[in-house]
Each structure stands twice: as structure tokens, then as C-alpha cells.
Chain A
């Protein structure tokens, strides 16, 4: 059974810092890995999707990397802003096509 772990569970940083969120998974036979953002009281919004054949994806200040062999993904946020404050979840889709979610990293970027 796939297990997804996200470290750290919570992070508080000053505005402007570059930061890295980590996601690890136990079964490397995946189709894709997706990073989501969840604002308080809201649903999840997809940020980046990395296919199993890809190593990374970029969108604006966000860069996600994937290392299937080691079962790891990182989400890099450059020049963080208070508006980046949210919970970030990663989800791994394997052979069942059903995503397995991590518990998320709660990020606070303070001015």
C-alpha cells in the first residue's frame, strides 16, 4: 500500500525566503505526482503535475522535482510572499489510478 509522507508538517518563514517542501512515497511504481494548494476553508487547487517520465515541472515561482528511484519529490518556492501562506499537499497516483495524499505542510509567510 502506498504511503505518502510530507515534511515538515508546518513551516513559518519571513517574506522573501526561498523554501523547499518535501514529499516522500514508498512505492516507486507511480503514474504521476501532483502538488496541491489548500487555503483555509477551501478546496484543493492543483499547482503542478509531474508525470512519471519527467524530472521536474515549473510554474512561475514554483518548481517541483521528482526522483522516482528514491521515492521523493520537492516543491521549491522562490521569493516567498504572504500570499503563499496555505497548506501544500502532494498526491501520488499509482496503478489503481487513485491518488494517495500526504498530510500536507502548513506554510505561513510573514511580512
Chain B
């Protein structure tokens, strides 16, 4: 398996523009997580899907952020409109989704977003 795939790897945009980040989880994984990582705040969970359904979106910072998972093999994180403070590395991770003590997260390479 190719692992978790994210695109684009780098995105530079201007304030006010719409940004869409994409993620393809590992085939057969039922849970998907979106994280944001900054020097100031570390790794923060934004939203968590299980079987394509959003389970916990309490980490989504505000209404400018939205996430969808239309099927088991694809998810998007959209920021509209983007602001400079959204600059960060955004990671997608997936797991089998079994609520067991051995379930391991697999991370994608991340998307480095810069909003000018």
C-alpha cells in the first residue's frame, strides 16, 4: 500500500482565497483524522471521521474551516476565506478504526500551507 496520500504537498496562497487540501487514507482504514501542526500550538486535532461520518469536529477553529469525506477513500479540508494565521502544516492520518488498544495511526506527509 502507498500509505496515506496528501495533496498538494505545498500550497502558497493569498489571504482571502479558498484552499482545498486532499487526503486519501490507507485502503481498508475506517477512521480518518485531520491535524494542524504549528510551532506555537504543536499538533492539534481538527476533525475525526469514522466510516465517513464526522464524529468529533470540536477542534475545527471556526466556520471558515470545513471537512468532508464523501467516500471511504477520499477526504477534503477546505478553508474559505484563508487568513495568514492559517499557515501551518496540515496532516491527515488514518487507522483501521477498531476501538482496540492496538489500533495504530498512520500519517500522511502533510501539506505545508502558507497564506500571504
Binding site for B on A (CB under 8 A): 31-32, 34, 36, 41-46, 49, 51-53, 89, 91, 93, 96-99, 101-104
A43 with B91: CB separation less than 8 A: yes
A33 to chain B, nearest CB (A): 10
Decide: A45 near B107, CB < 8 A? Known: A32-B101, A98-B45: yes
B114 to chain A, nearest CB (A): 14
Total interface residues on B, CB under 8 Å, equals 22
Decide: A42 near B110, CB < 8 A? Known: A89-B43, A101-B42, A103-B42: yes
A14 to chain B, nearest CB (A): 27
Complex interface residues of chain B between 60 and 116 (CB less than 8 A to chain A): 91, 93, 99-110, 112
B56 with A96: CB separation less than 8 A: yes
List chain A residues, Cβ under 8 A from B33. 98
List chain B residues, Cβ under 8 A from A32. 101-103
A6 to chain B, nearest CB (A): 10
B97 closest partner in A (C-beta): A97
The CA-CA distance from A32 to B105 in the complex, in Å, is: 12
Report the 3 A-B pairs with minimum CB-CB distance, sorted nearest first: A43-B107, A51-B101, A44-B107
